[in-house]
Amino acid sequence: MKRLDKKADPELDAMLAIAVTAFAYIPDVWFFAKDTNGKFVAANPPFLKLCGLQDLSDLLGKTDLDFFHKKRAHLYIHDDRKVMETGVKLENQIEPMPRGKFKSDLMITNKFAIKSADGRILGIVGVSRNLSETSARSADAGEFAKTINHIERLSRERFDLRALASNQGMSTAVFERRFKKIFHMTPVAYHQQVRLRHARHELLASAKSVGEIAAEFGFYDQSHFTKSFGAAYGMPPLRFRKSAMVPLAAETGS
């Protein structure tokens, strides 16, 4: 496997070589790996295509900031940091991925730390599946497209399970069961994930206070928002805002 770092950990190289081979021929899955500085060390062809690249050598050694909008890249970097610092996997995070000005795909992402035999953190691996393009799963996910779009657009509003189920033409029990089977989480958990994600974006995109953002996204108060945010992202909102504004050199360790 082609690498830029001539002193790269051979244990990491061996693991990534196996993973890249495994994911190379799965067209609807994006696979990528980064070292502890957030620099890409491996990826499969679909991920290269997402970044507008054809050759892996054009990706190696670069970071999310080289390919994605700055605010979105900072969110990815923050998620990576949390996984590597805590060792806790990021599981089934669902979010839209912009494709052009008027289109976005629904992605489900999992990230986990790569560890050596002696427990050292070597980096991070991410696997994203495009629910909009996965044949069988796309049909199931498409059944809930209206619900997903509704929750995304109205993340600031109170969650109403009965109304969502009714709009889907299902009883609340059937709605919850089918939603969980497809997305691996309950509708209320997804709504919580969405409003925290939108609130996190708002922390970077605006100068609003933490209290204002908490109220805007329907949290009981600032304390409730801070506790929920910390549980999801590993730090309180204000510290996230400050850490995410760190210059690129500090982000990449270069």
Fold of domain 10-134: Beta-Lactamase (3.30.450)
Question: What average pLDDT does range 43-62 have in this prediction?
Answer: 90
Confidence of residue 174 (pLDDT cuts 50, 70, 90): very high
205-211 own/partner pairs: CB under 8 Å, 24+ apart: 205/71, 210/237, 210/238
Fold of the domain built from segment(s) 144-244: Arc Repressor Mutant, subunit A (1.10.10)
Average pLDDT over residues 105-111: 84
Q: For residue 148, what are its two tokens?
A: 């997903």
What mean pLDDT is predicted for residues 67-84?
87
Same fold, 10-134 and 144-244: no
pLDDT tens digits, 235-245: 899 998 887 76
Distances (CA, A) of 112 to 81, 105, 126, 160: 11, 22, 7, 33
Spell out the domain ranges in the chain.
Answer: 10-134, 144-244
Cβ pair 212, 110 in contact under 8 A: no
Question: pLDDT value at position 13?
Answer: 67
In degrees, to the nearest 5, what angle opens at C-alpha 70 toward C-alphas 230 and 156? 50
What pLDDT score does 219 carry?
A: 93
- Whether pLDDT at 106 is above 60: yes
pLDDT tens digits for 187-209?
A: 999 999 999 989 998 998 899 99
